[in-house]
Amino acid sequence: MTHERSIPGTIHGVGLGPGSQDLMSVRADRLIRGASHVAYFRKKGRTGHARRIVDGMLASDAIELPMEYPVTTEIPFDDPRYNALLAAFYERSVAQLCEIAEAGRDVVVLCEGDPFFYGSFMHLYTRLQGRVPVAVVPGITGMSAAWTATGQPVTWGDDILTVLMGTLPEATLSERIAETDALVVMKIGRHLDKLRRALASSGREDEAWLIEYAAMPQQRIRPFREVDESVPYFSIVVIHGNGRRP
């Protein structure tokens, strides 16, 4: 007697774009609305931004699989415990996803922005390789929505665009800001004062714009020099290039 093994399901990393449902791709919309299992990252005790984006889109019988980070800002990211805790978390998440896929069911993993651009899904993707089928649906990045919100092109001609994290050391920020044409800075939050000093030391503070919640209902755009209070996590700084043009 032979036993046929079921065909495994696919883990879909689906880019949601910057936060507005009408900026998702058609493929993302179709997968989300038809999903029987939907996984997403969130902080403990929170709904999660990815889950909020798809509110009203999920099937009534969809099974939700929240993946709660064991640590976010409680431990410095350069502390060995930080990586150890996150690695174990990703392994547990992958085991759960594989169990569902091996039973023949597809799983949609909601990914803010683009799954392959500074996202948590990448840590699942590398661990899932060779275990179950994985597919990725790209999405519009938050930085694309941010520079579009300013109403100005971000790069011209041969402009060099640099993307930085606000978590970088101040000296590194200052150096990179000074040498680039166009700039995007993400993950600002608690690093606002450090970023302000870096922009000032590179002589570019007056060129910078701060965009909060790009493409979301609460979107706000200001010259960086006018910012004198704390900013939300979903904030991006943009400096526009001014390169070659006809």
CATH number at residue 117: 3.40.1010.10
Tell me the C-alpha distance between 18 and 124, whole Å: 21
Q: Is residue 115 pLDDT above 80, yes or no? A: yes
Tell me the C-alpha distance between 190 and 69, whole Å: 19
Residue 89 sits in which domain range?
A: 11-140
Shared-domain flag, residues 148 and 134:
no
> What phi and psi, each to the nearest 5 degrees, are found at residue 180?
-95, 165
Shared-domain flag, residues 125 and 188:
no
Region 144-159: mean pLDDT is 97
Shared-domain flag, residues 97 and 178:
no
Please report whether residue 22 resides in a domain.
yes
At residue 1, the pLDDT reads 46
Boundary (domain end) residue, out of 140, 169, 188: 140
Tell me the C-alpha distance between 60 and 75, whole Å: 38
Shared-domain flag, residues 156 and 94:
no
Contact criterion met (CB below 8 Å) for 32 and 68: no
Contact criterion met (CB below 8 Å) for 159 and 208: no
Q: Is residue 75 pLDDT above 70, yes or no? A: no
The overall pTM is greater than 0.85: yes
CATH number at residue 229: 3.30.950.10
Boundary (domain end) residue, out of 113, 140, 167: 140
The candidate with the shortest Cα–Cα distance to 161, out of 144, 136, 140, 145, is 144
